[in-house]
Amino acid sequence: MQTYRSDILVIGGGLAGIVSALELIDHGCDVLLLDRDEEAAFGGLARESFGGLFFVGSREQRRSGIADSPAQALADWLSFAEFGPDDQMPRLWAERYIERCIPDVYEFVRRHGISFLPVPLWVERGDSRRGNSVPRFHMVWGTGRELATRLIAALLGHANARRVIRAFRHRVDRLVSEDGRVCGCAGLREFDDVPFEARAEHVIVATGGINGDIQRVKTNWHRDWNRPPDVILNGSHRYADGRVHDAVVVAGGTLTHLDNMWNYASGVHHWRPRKPLHGLSLVPSRSALWLNYRGERIAPPLISGFDTRALVTAICAQERPYSWQLLNRRIALKELAVSGAEFNPSIREKSWIGVLRDTLLGNRWLVREMTENCEDVLIAGSLPELVGKMNARQGDTSVDLACLTDAVARYDAAVDAPDFAGDLQLRRISELRQYRGDRLRLSKSQKILDHGAMPLIAIREFIISRKSLGGIKTDLQCRVLGADDGVIPGLFAVGEAAGFGGGGMHGLRGLEGTFLGGCILTGRMAGRAITGRPNV
Ligand SMILES: Cc1cc2nc3c(=O)[nH]c(=O)nc-3n(C[C@H](O)[C@H](O)[C@H](O)COP(=O)(O)OP(=O)(O)OC[C@H]3O[C@@H](n4cnc5c(N)ncnc54)[C@H](O)[C@@H]3O)c2cc1C
């Protein structure tokens, strides 16, 4: 048995764990940071992420002429969250995020050398419920990889760096309690199968969500989404399995809202998978036709950028809970994108020339990668040929050529019609194009059947699991709460493990960018609570 001892134990080396450790060594604490993964993966999901952060009142917003205020942001958040009467802690965390996102998140990352693209993006505008009433999604120049790399460098290069010991390939299985106080954890060193036990004054759980375990995702499937689809792709961390969530329950803590998840409607199979059912989440092309498994246009028409959860709900309501998007090469060049650092090399490598080239000439690299490698992407020179390929991929004859031809003809005719013949998708595209952050990445009046825009492309899209909006219930100091909201002494939870704050600060929906932001904020709050500093 290997034993360790430290002042503070941080379980999980993702963004939330790293920020907690930084905050603690800043104040002279000794920290032991354990992670199940390899050292090369230090940084967790943040290093794979897109790197969008939600801020209210940033310099980038002001320079872009965007008027925003905490009151307006809170109204948007509460509308999107639909908190229930018992969601006191999540609501307090929502308020805390909006109040503190500039001093504790924005200024913090800027101090660590992070900068943002000049124009914030306008995501999650809201559909049946109001979402972001103004653009607030700030893309890190260098993506989430830059965010993770900079903060790791800050930790390793810190004047107190010797105070943090990192141990990888350590799987934590349970927490250790003594005299009613959590004082450590135990598990297995997976590289040599030696059991270990670690002891500390305080334990911070930063192990991410549960959405990397597809069976667990299915077990906690939200009632709004019918039965879980047979195929759900995995867009989360391979170790986000809730093992330490369960250990928290054994130690007396509470889990809340595990059925609140931020999944996406447009997952495709990764062609170089690093985990079972590894999926990539597309940013769905707005000018594509969104179809069901028969090739019928889903009604009312689906379009991304308004309410991600509503898209998931609509797909799960279909007879077969997956979909097709039909577009052409010109649309793909302009609009096709994949969320995350891996498939955004121009931003990741901070190449302005690359960004300019992708914007002006289209993202040829990505379109080639996907059309050549992804099993869910099909190309053809005509609709009959494409329908043949779609049916072959589905393994039946469900896609009906006549029906698809009719849907395309109606849509293409609406492109030229006055007021788009009332077509909701085309109206929304025109609404989106009013904002310059969207205009650059949106085709204008683009028909599907257009000889100059060929070939046709069909993309089969599955539900992809991503973020756990629920998790370990905490108070505003990130202390884990048990029965009757009593504090579990010695135990803290941060980041996605804690539903980004309080066990679910987003409620039902996220305004986006609040996930990375929530990891930073909770990590800082936990560090301050442990070192006894007020949350100012
Ligand atoms: C492709 C992609 C794009 C994204 N884009 C954005 C974005 O633009 N904006 C945004 O806000 N969010 C985004 N996110 C979400 C965001 O990246 C995550 O929510 C966030 O990074 C979670 O951080 P975390 O530290 O809480 O958990 P994680 O990053 O999951 O880290 C948890 C760590 O705990 C370790 N661990 C787990 N179990 C154990 C155990 N039993 N024992 C020991 N260690 C364990 C894991 O190995 C891991 O290193 C994106 C996510 C992905 C995948």
Residue among 11, 19, 49 to mutate when testing ligand 1 (max atoms within 8 A of CB) = 49
Q: What's the 112 CA to ligand 1 centre distance in angstroms?
A: 20
Does the beta carbon of 513 sit less than 6 angstroms from any atom of ligand 1? yes
Does the beta carbon of 35 sit less than 6 angstroms from any atom of ligand 1? yes
| pLDDT surpasses 70 at 204 | yes
Render pLDDT for 394-429 as a digit per residue (tens, 0 to 9): 999 999 999 999 999 999 999 999 999 999 999 999
Does the beta carbon of 36 sit less than 6 angstroms from any atom of ligand 1? yes
What is the number of helices (H) and of strands (E) in the chain? 18, 22
Structure tokens at 530: 């442990």
pLDDT attached to residue 535: 58
Render pLDDT for 364-373 as a digit per residue (tens, 0 to 9): 999 999 999 9
Does the beta carbon of 340 sit less than 6 angstroms from any atom of ligand 1? yes
Residue among 45, 53, 105, 196 to mutate when testing ligand 1 (max atoms within 8 A of CB) = 45
Per-residue pLDDT averaged across 42-66, rounded?
97
Strand partners, 126: 130
Residue 532: band (very low, low, confident or very high) from pLDDT cuts 50, 70, 90 = confident
Is residue 149 within 8 Å of residue 46, measured between CB atoms? no
pLDDT attached to residue 184: 98
Does the beta carbon of 44 sit less than 6 angstroms from any atom of ligand 1? yes
* 53: nearest Cα among 143, 126, 162: 143
Render pLDDT for 480-495 as a digit per residue (tens, 0 to 9): 999 899 999 999 999 9
User: C-alpha distances in angstroms, 290 versus 262, 265, 416?
Assistant: 20, 11, 20
Does the beta carbon of 108 sit less than 6 angstroms from any atom of ligand 1? no
Does the beta carbon of 172 sit less than 6 angstroms from any atom of ligand 1? yes
Looking at ligand 1, which residue's alpha carbon is closest to its atom 2?
A: 49
H or E stretch including 76? Answer: helix 70-81
Local structure of residue 229 (DSSP, 8 states): P
pLDDT attached to residue 534: 61
Render pLDDT for 241-260 as a digit per residue (tens, 0 to 9): 999 999 999 999 999 999 99
Per-residue pLDDT averaged across 182-208, rounded?
98
User: Per the omega criterion (within 30 degrees of 0), is the bond before 534 cis?
Assistant: no
CA dist., res. 187 & res. 197, Å (int):
7
Q: What percentage of the chain carries pLDDT values higher than 90?
A: 97
Q: What's the 260 CA to ligand 1 centre distance in angstroms?
A: 16
Number of residues assigned to the chain: 536
CA dist., res. 136 & res. 389, Å (int):
40
Mean pLDDT, the chain, rounded, equals 96
pLDDT attached to residue 170: 98
Q: Is 410 left (phi over 0), alpha (psi -120 to 50) or beta?
A: alpha
* 140: nearest Cα among 8, 232, 49: 49
Which atom of ligand 1 lies nearest, measured to the CA of 13? Answer: 49
pLDDT attached to residue 445: 87
CA dist., res. 25 & res. 474, Å (int):
23
CA dist., res. 337 & res. 353, Å (int):
18
Q: What's the 335 CA to ligand 1 centre distance in angstroms?
A: 26
CA dist., res. 46 & res. 240, Å (int):
13
Would you say the pTM of this structure is higher than 0.85?
Answer: yes
Q: What's the 495 CA to ligand 1 centre distance in angstroms?
A: 8
Render pLDDT for 497-523 as a digit per residue (tens, 0 to 9): 999 999 999 999 999 999 999 999 999
